[in-house]
Structure 1
Amino acid sequence: MKKRVKLTFPKRSIHMPITYRLAKDFNIAANIIRAQVAPNQVGTLVVELSGDIDQLNDGIDWLEAQDIQVSVASGEIVINEDLCVHCGLCTGVCPTRALTLDPTSFKLVFNRSRCIVCEQCIPTCPVQAISTNL
Protein backbone atom coordinates (compact mmCIF):
# COMPACT_ATOMS: atom_id res chain seq x y z
CA MET A 1 0.00 0.00 0.00
CA LYS A 2 1.12 3.58 -0.62
CA LYS A 3 0.33 6.74 1.31
CA ARG A 4 1.45 10.26 0.51
CA VAL A 5 1.93 12.26 3.69
CA LYS A 6 3.26 15.63 4.71
CA LEU A 7 5.49 15.56 7.79
CA THR A 8 5.99 18.70 9.83
CA PHE A 9 8.57 18.37 12.53
CA PRO A 10 9.86 20.71 15.24
CA LYS A 11 13.31 22.30 15.24
CA ARG A 12 14.69 19.77 17.71
CA SER A 13 13.81 16.81 15.43
CA ILE A 14 15.49 18.23 12.34
CA HIS A 15 18.59 16.01 12.69
CA MET A 16 16.63 12.79 13.26
CA PRO A 17 17.13 10.13 10.53
CA ILE A 18 13.41 9.75 9.87
CA THR A 19 13.44 7.86 6.56
CA TYR A 20 16.18 5.54 7.82
CA ARG A 21 14.17 4.66 10.94
CA LEU A 22 11.02 4.05 8.88
CA ALA A 23 12.94 1.65 6.62
CA LYS A 24 14.88 -0.14 9.35
CA ASP A 25 12.27 -0.39 12.11
CA PHE A 26 9.04 -0.64 10.10
CA ASN A 27 10.10 -1.93 6.65
CA ILE A 28 8.61 1.16 5.00
CA ALA A 29 10.06 2.61 1.81
CA ALA A 30 9.98 6.42 1.78
CA ASN A 31 10.15 8.27 -1.54
CA ILE A 32 10.91 11.92 -0.74
CA ILE A 33 8.87 14.15 -3.02
CA ARG A 34 9.66 17.52 -1.46
CA ALA A 35 11.80 18.57 1.48
CA GLN A 36 12.15 21.90 3.20
CA VAL A 37 14.66 21.40 5.99
CA ALA A 38 17.01 23.95 7.52
CA PRO A 39 18.81 24.26 10.86
CA ASN A 40 16.81 25.93 13.66
CA GLN A 41 13.58 25.99 11.63
CA VAL A 42 10.45 23.88 11.47
CA GLY A 43 10.94 21.27 8.74
CA THR A 44 8.48 19.85 6.23
CA LEU A 45 8.79 16.72 4.18
CA VAL A 46 6.33 15.36 1.62
CA VAL A 47 6.92 11.63 1.22
CA GLU A 48 5.24 8.69 -0.41
CA LEU A 49 5.36 5.79 2.04
CA SER A 50 5.13 2.21 0.74
CA GLY A 51 4.65 -0.92 2.78
CA ASP A 52 2.19 -3.20 4.50
CA ILE A 53 -0.86 -1.34 5.87
CA ASP A 54 -0.10 -2.39 9.46
CA GLN A 55 3.53 -1.32 9.13
CA LEU A 56 2.45 2.01 7.63
CA ASN A 57 0.10 2.62 10.54
CA ASP A 58 2.79 1.63 13.06
CA GLY A 59 5.31 3.92 11.34
CA ILE A 60 2.88 6.84 11.37
CA ASP A 61 2.14 6.19 15.06
CA TRP A 62 5.90 6.27 15.74
CA LEU A 63 6.26 9.55 13.84
CA GLU A 64 3.47 11.13 15.88
CA ALA A 65 5.08 9.84 19.11
CA GLN A 66 8.20 11.80 18.07
CA ASP A 67 6.09 15.01 17.96
CA ILE A 68 6.10 14.95 14.16
CA GLN A 69 2.81 16.15 12.71
CA VAL A 70 1.52 13.80 10.00
CA SER A 71 -1.15 14.86 7.51
CA VAL A 72 -2.34 12.89 4.51
CA ALA A 73 -1.41 14.71 1.31
CA SER A 74 -4.11 13.49 -1.00
CA GLY A 75 -4.75 16.69 -2.91
CA GLU A 76 -4.17 17.53 -6.52
CA ILE A 77 -2.66 20.43 -8.38
CA VAL A 78 -5.29 22.82 -9.73
CA ILE A 79 -4.61 25.38 -12.46
CA ASN A 80 -6.91 28.37 -12.71
CA GLU A 81 -7.26 28.83 -16.46
CA ASP A 82 -8.63 32.35 -16.00
CA LEU A 83 -5.47 33.48 -14.20
CA CYS A 84 -2.84 31.51 -16.14
CA VAL A 85 -0.88 33.63 -18.63
CA HIS A 86 0.94 30.59 -20.14
CA CYS A 87 4.37 32.02 -19.35
CA GLY A 88 5.87 28.54 -18.90
CA LEU A 89 7.84 29.28 -15.73
CA CYS A 90 6.19 26.30 -14.00
CA THR A 91 7.42 23.93 -16.72
CA GLY A 92 11.02 24.59 -15.75
CA VAL A 93 10.59 23.35 -12.19
CA CYS A 94 8.31 20.36 -12.85
CA PRO A 95 10.41 17.24 -12.23
CA THR A 96 8.03 14.87 -14.04
CA ARG A 97 7.18 17.09 -17.03
CA ALA A 98 3.52 17.08 -16.03
CA LEU A 99 3.52 20.75 -17.03
CA THR A 100 4.57 21.56 -20.59
CA LEU A 101 3.91 24.20 -23.20
CA ASP A 102 2.19 23.10 -26.40
CA PRO A 103 4.75 23.78 -29.17
CA THR A 104 2.16 25.10 -31.62
CA SER A 105 -0.22 27.12 -29.43
CA PHE A 106 2.25 27.96 -26.63
CA LYS A 107 -0.52 27.18 -24.13
CA LEU A 108 0.17 25.39 -20.86
CA VAL A 109 -0.67 21.68 -20.93
CA PHE A 110 -1.16 19.81 -17.63
CA ASN A 111 -0.79 16.01 -17.69
CA ARG A 112 -2.41 15.09 -14.35
CA SER A 113 -1.32 11.45 -14.54
CA ARG A 114 2.36 12.49 -14.48
CA CYS A 115 1.95 14.91 -11.54
CA ILE A 116 3.38 13.80 -8.18
CA VAL A 117 2.01 16.87 -6.33
CA CYS A 118 5.49 18.03 -5.29
CA GLU A 119 4.09 21.58 -5.34
CA GLN A 120 7.27 23.08 -6.79
CA CYS A 121 5.19 24.84 -9.42
CA ILE A 122 3.04 26.74 -6.92
CA PRO A 123 5.59 29.32 -5.68
CA THR A 124 7.00 29.63 -9.22
CA CYS A 125 3.78 30.91 -10.77
CA PRO A 126 3.99 34.72 -10.96
CA VAL A 127 0.20 35.17 -11.12
CA GLN A 128 -0.66 32.52 -8.49
CA ALA A 129 -2.74 30.47 -10.93
CA ILE A 130 -1.54 27.16 -9.47
CA SER A 131 -2.73 25.76 -6.14
CA THR A 132 -3.72 22.50 -4.46
CA ASN A 133 -7.15 21.32 -3.48
CA LEU A 134 -5.99 19.83 -0.15
Structure 2
Amino acid sequence: MKKRVTLTFPQDTVQMPVTYRLAKDFNIAANIIRAQVAPNQVGKLVVELQGDIDAIEIALEWMKGKGILVSLASKEIVINEDICVDCGLCTGVCPTGALSLDPQTFRLKFTRQKCVVCEQCLPACPVQAIATNF
Protein backbone atom coordinates (compact mmCIF):
# COMPACT_ATOMS: atom_id res chain seq x y z
CA MET A 1 0.00 0.00 0.00
CA LYS A 2 1.20 3.53 -0.81
CA LYS A 3 0.04 6.71 0.85
CA ARG A 4 1.28 10.24 0.14
CA VAL A 5 1.24 12.58 3.13
CA THR A 6 2.45 16.03 4.05
CA LEU A 7 4.19 16.25 7.41
CA THR A 8 4.52 19.59 9.19
CA PHE A 9 7.10 19.59 11.96
CA PRO A 10 7.04 22.06 14.85
CA GLN A 11 10.39 23.71 15.60
CA ASP A 12 11.17 21.32 18.46
CA THR A 13 10.70 18.13 16.38
CA VAL A 14 12.66 19.09 13.25
CA GLN A 15 15.74 17.21 14.50
CA MET A 16 13.83 13.91 14.98
CA PRO A 17 14.96 11.16 12.52
CA VAL A 18 11.46 10.37 11.29
CA THR A 19 12.28 8.49 8.08
CA TYR A 20 14.76 6.31 9.97
CA ARG A 21 12.14 5.51 12.63
CA LEU A 22 9.55 4.72 9.95
CA ALA A 23 11.89 2.17 8.38
CA LYS A 24 13.27 0.66 11.60
CA ASP A 25 10.21 0.65 13.87
CA PHE A 26 7.35 0.27 11.37
CA ASN A 27 8.97 -1.38 8.32
CA ILE A 28 7.78 1.46 6.07
CA ALA A 29 9.70 2.81 3.09
CA ALA A 30 9.57 6.59 2.89
CA ASN A 31 10.17 8.22 -0.49
CA ILE A 32 10.81 11.93 0.13
CA ILE A 33 9.18 13.98 -2.62
CA ARG A 34 9.78 17.46 -1.22
CA ALA A 35 11.48 18.72 1.92
CA GLN A 36 11.73 22.15 3.51
CA VAL A 37 13.45 21.56 6.83
CA ALA A 38 15.85 23.83 8.70
CA PRO A 39 16.97 23.97 12.36
CA ASN A 40 14.76 26.03 14.68
CA GLN A 41 12.08 26.54 12.02
CA VAL A 42 8.81 24.84 11.13
CA GLY A 43 9.56 22.07 8.62
CA LYS A 44 7.50 20.50 5.83
CA LEU A 45 8.01 17.14 4.23
CA VAL A 46 5.96 15.59 1.42
CA VAL A 47 6.58 11.87 1.54
CA GLU A 48 5.16 8.74 -0.07
CA LEU A 49 4.89 5.94 2.47
CA GLN A 50 4.93 2.33 1.30
CA GLY A 51 4.23 -0.69 3.46
CA ASP A 52 1.50 -2.61 5.23
CA ILE A 53 -1.65 -0.47 5.55
CA ASP A 54 -1.98 -1.20 9.27
CA ALA A 55 1.68 -0.31 9.87
CA ILE A 56 1.21 2.95 7.97
CA GLU A 57 -1.80 3.87 10.09
CA ILE A 58 0.09 3.05 13.32
CA ALA A 59 3.07 5.11 12.11
CA LEU A 60 0.82 8.07 11.28
CA GLU A 61 -0.65 7.94 14.78
CA TRP A 62 2.88 7.75 16.25
CA MET A 63 3.87 10.88 14.30
CA LYS A 64 0.75 12.72 15.45
CA GLY A 65 1.63 11.74 19.03
CA LYS A 66 5.04 13.38 18.55
CA GLY A 67 3.40 16.67 17.57
CA ILE A 68 3.82 16.28 13.81
CA LEU A 69 0.83 17.52 11.80
CA VAL A 70 -0.10 14.83 9.24
CA SER A 71 -2.32 15.56 6.26
CA LEU A 72 -3.07 13.46 3.21
CA ALA A 73 -1.54 14.89 0.07
CA SER A 74 -4.40 14.49 -2.37
CA LYS A 75 -3.59 17.52 -4.48
CA GLU A 76 -2.84 17.53 -8.16
CA ILE A 77 -1.37 20.14 -10.47
CA VAL A 78 -3.74 21.97 -12.82
CA ILE A 79 -2.60 24.18 -15.69
CA ASN A 80 -4.87 26.93 -16.99
CA GLU A 81 -4.12 26.78 -20.71
CA ASP A 82 -6.00 30.06 -21.31
CA ILE A 83 -3.46 31.94 -19.17
CA CYS A 84 -0.29 29.94 -19.93
CA VAL A 85 2.11 31.74 -22.28
CA ASP A 86 4.28 28.62 -22.87
CA CYS A 87 7.42 30.35 -21.59
CA GLY A 88 8.88 27.11 -20.24
CA LEU A 89 10.11 28.50 -16.91
CA CYS A 90 8.26 25.75 -15.06
CA THR A 91 10.08 23.06 -17.04
CA GLY A 92 13.39 24.10 -15.52
CA VAL A 93 12.26 23.42 -11.95
CA CYS A 94 10.25 20.24 -12.56
CA PRO A 95 12.31 17.40 -11.02
CA THR A 96 10.43 14.59 -12.77
CA GLY A 97 10.09 16.00 -16.29
CA ALA A 98 6.31 16.12 -16.02
CA LEU A 99 6.45 19.60 -17.56
CA SER A 100 8.21 19.99 -20.90
CA LEU A 101 8.03 22.06 -24.05
CA ASP A 102 6.97 20.28 -27.21
CA PRO A 103 9.94 20.62 -29.61
CA GLN A 104 7.62 20.94 -32.63
CA THR A 105 5.06 23.46 -31.35
CA PHE A 106 6.95 25.03 -28.41
CA ARG A 107 3.78 24.60 -26.32
CA LEU A 108 3.82 23.41 -22.74
CA LYS A 109 3.20 19.70 -22.35
CA PHE A 110 2.09 18.26 -18.98
CA THR A 111 2.47 14.52 -18.33
CA ARG A 112 0.30 13.97 -15.25
CA GLN A 113 1.61 10.44 -14.60
CA LYS A 114 5.12 11.80 -13.97
CA CYS A 115 3.96 14.57 -11.61
CA VAL A 116 4.70 14.08 -7.90
CA VAL A 117 2.96 17.33 -6.88
CA CYS A 118 6.12 18.84 -5.41
CA GLU A 119 4.66 22.27 -6.28
CA GLN A 120 8.00 23.71 -7.39
CA CYS A 121 6.38 24.85 -10.63
CA LEU A 122 3.85 27.11 -8.87
CA PRO A 123 6.20 29.96 -7.93
CA ALA A 124 8.12 29.56 -11.21
CA CYS A 125 5.11 30.50 -13.34
CA PRO A 126 5.21 34.26 -14.03
CA VAL A 127 1.52 34.44 -14.99
CA GLN A 128 0.23 32.08 -12.27
CA ALA A 129 -1.24 29.63 -14.77
CA ILE A 130 -0.30 26.66 -12.56
CA ALA A 131 -2.26 25.83 -9.43
CA THR A 132 -3.11 22.89 -7.20
CA ASN A 133 -6.51 21.27 -7.08
CA PHE A 134 -7.92 19.01 -4.38
- Which residue in 1 is equivalent to 2:99? 99
Question: 2:83 and 2:9 mapped to 1: Cα distance?
Answer: 34
- Which residue in 2 is equivalent to 1:28? 28
Question: 1:39 and 1:124 mapped to 2: Cα distance?
Answer: 26
Give the 5 Å matches for 1:64-103. 64-103=64-103
Q: CA deviation at 1:128?
A: 1.2
Q: CA deviation at 1:61?
A: 0.3
1:127 aligns with 2:132: no
Q: Which amino acid aligns with 1:57?
A: E
Question: 2:40 and 2:130 mapped to 1: Cα distance?
Answer: 30
Question: 2:125 and 2:26 mapped to 1: Cα distance?
Answer: 38
Give the 5 Å matches for 1:42-81. 42-81=42-81
- Percent identity over the alignment is 70
Q: CA deviation at 1:123?
A: 1.3
1:38 aligns with 2:38: yes
Gaps of 5+ in 2: none
Q: CA deviation at 1:98?
A: 0.7
Q: CA deviation at 1:97?
A: 0.7
Q: Which amino acid aligns with 1:37?
A: V
Q: CA deviation at 1:38?
A: 1.2
Give secondary structure in 1 for the equivalent of 2:12. Answer: helix
- Which residue in 1 is equivalent to 2:112? 112
The farther-off stretch of 42-51 and 123-132 is 123-132
Give secondary structure in 2 for the equivalent of 1:78. Answer: strand
Q: CA deviation at 1:74?
A: 1.3
Gaps of 5+ in 1: none
Q: TM-score, normalised by structure 2?
A: 0.97
Q: CA deviation at 1:96?
A: 1.2
Q: TM-score, normalised by structure 1?
A: 0.97
Structure 1 runs, 4 residues or longer, greater than 2 Å off: none
Q: CA deviation at 1:104?
A: 1.5
Question: 1:30 and 1:76 mapped to 2: Cα distance?
Answer: 20
Q: CA deviation at 1:127?
A: 1.2
Question: 1:7 and 1:128 mapped to 2: Cα distance?
Answer: 26
